[in-house]
């Protein structure tokens, strides 16, 4: 309890999966949470039961104007911004030869430009505040390509987030702004469900033989716990780090 006491945290893509789990956990740990998503009806519905300091704002992470508005509204509401969790992202499963220019641009925009806009928007507020913690959600796809040889643009976009996170961690260390990233493996969230995976057991079965650690698939909580560590002062001497949460998949 209270691992995030007095902290103000913005979470993107908080209407589902890892972002929603992070909103639950961060409030429980004492943070004031600004939960954001493009799916505002869903966001308002699923966060209704969260008991604590939480507000919901619309944020399409590809919109520079909406990023600016969320920063201003957060500052006006809570007085400062300590934490940004750049969680929102969507995978599109086209191989390099299948992908269209339109699809490529959509994926880069949603998964990479979004993180650029988020960091560019929040860093001035963190500087003013004397520091902060940014956690970017990457993917194992940035390290191993992708699970099914598809998702070329997604893997490239996430590889860009990996590099941009390192860049920012070095450039803003003097300002006491830490930038770390998380690499989820196979995790049951809305994304997996959209691809027809109905349960944790089904996802685990699909990755048995690929992921060494039972139950061969992770949960949104496994990732939210990583966000929590990197967002909190427990990781105050950690920056530029890449935390892989994948049941040992990438170690094989």
Ligand X SMILES: NC(=O)c1ccc[n+]([C@@H]2O[C@H](COP(=O)([O-])OP(=O)(O)OC[C@H]3O[C@@H](n4cnc5c(N)ncnc54)[C@H](O)[C@@H]3O)[C@@H](O)[C@H]2O)c1
Residues labelled as active-site residues: 154
User: Binding pattern to ligand X, positions 108-137, x when CB under 6 A?
Assistant: --x--------------------------x
Q: Does 239 bind ligand X (CB under 6 A)?
A: no
Provide the 3-class DSSP secondary structure of residue 133. strand
Q: Please list every residue from 148 through 207 that binds ligand X, using CB under 6 A.
A: 184, 186-187, 189-192
Which lies closer to ligand X via its Cβ, residue 115 or residue 129?
Answer: 115
Contacting residues for 22 by C-beta, under 8 A, at least 6 apart: 11, 14, 85, 87, 223, 224, 227, 228
Q: Please list every residue from 36 through 65 that binds ligand X, using CB under 6 A.
A: 37-39, 59-62
CB of 186 to ligand X, least distance (A): 5
10 Å CB burial of residue 61 (0-12, 13-18, 19+) is buried
10 Å CB burial of residue 10 (0-12, 13-18, 19+) is buried
Q: Does 13 bind ligand X (CB under 6 A)?
A: yes
The span of 27-35, 84-92, 117-125, 171-179 binding ligand X (CB under 6 A) equals: 84-92
Contact in structure between 69 and 114 (CB atoms under 8 Å)? no
CA distance linking residue 153 with residue 145, whole number of Å? 10
Contacting residues for 200 by C-beta, under 8 A, at least 6 apart: 188, 215, 217, 219
- Which residue among 8, 10, 16, 168 contacts ligand X (CB under 6 A)? 16
Number of residues that bind ligand X (CB under 6 A): 29
Q: Does 143 bind ligand X (CB under 6 A)?
A: no
- Which residue among 4, 19, 181, 243 contacts ligand X (CB under 6 A)? 19
CB of 112 to ligand X, least distance (A): 11
CB of 47 to ligand X, least distance (A): 11
CA distances from 211 to 58, 201, 204, 216 (A): 36, 13, 9, 5
Question: What residues make contact with ligand X under the rule CB under 6 A?
Answer: 12-13, 15-19, 37-39, 59-62, 87-91, 110, 137, 139, 184, 186-187, 189-192
């Amino acid at each position: 309890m209270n691992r995030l006491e007095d902290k103000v945290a913005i979470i993107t893509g908080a209407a589902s999966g890892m972002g929603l789990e992070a909103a639950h956990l961060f409030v429980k740990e004492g943070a004031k949470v600004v939960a954001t998503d493009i799916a505002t009806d869903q966001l308002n519905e699923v966060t209704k039961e969260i008991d604590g300091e939480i507000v919901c704002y619309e944020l399409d992470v590809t919109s520079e104007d909406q990023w600016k508005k969320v920063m201003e509204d957060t500052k006006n509401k809570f007085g400062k911004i300590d934490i940004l969790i750049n969680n929102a992202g969507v995978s599109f499963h086209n191989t390099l030869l299948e992908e269209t220019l339109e699809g490529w641009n959509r994926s880069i925009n949603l998964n990479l430009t979004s993180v650029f806009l988020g960091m560019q928007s929040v860093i001035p507020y963190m500087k003013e505040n004397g520091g902060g913690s940014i956690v970017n959600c990457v993917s194992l796809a940035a390290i191993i390509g992708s699970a099914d040889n598809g998702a070329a643009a997604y893997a490239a976009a996430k590889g860009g987030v990996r590099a941009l996170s390192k860049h920012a961690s070095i450039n803003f260390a003097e300002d006491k702004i830490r930038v770390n990233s998380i690499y989820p493996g196979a995790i049951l969230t809305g994304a997996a469900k959209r691809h027809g995976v109905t349960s944790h057991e089904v996802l685990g079965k699909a990755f048995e033989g690929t992921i060494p650690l039972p139950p061969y698939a992770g949960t949104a909580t496994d990732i939210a716990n990583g966000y929590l560590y990197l967002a909190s002062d427990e990781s105050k001497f950690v920056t530029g780090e890449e935390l892989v949460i994948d049941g040992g998949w990438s170690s094989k």
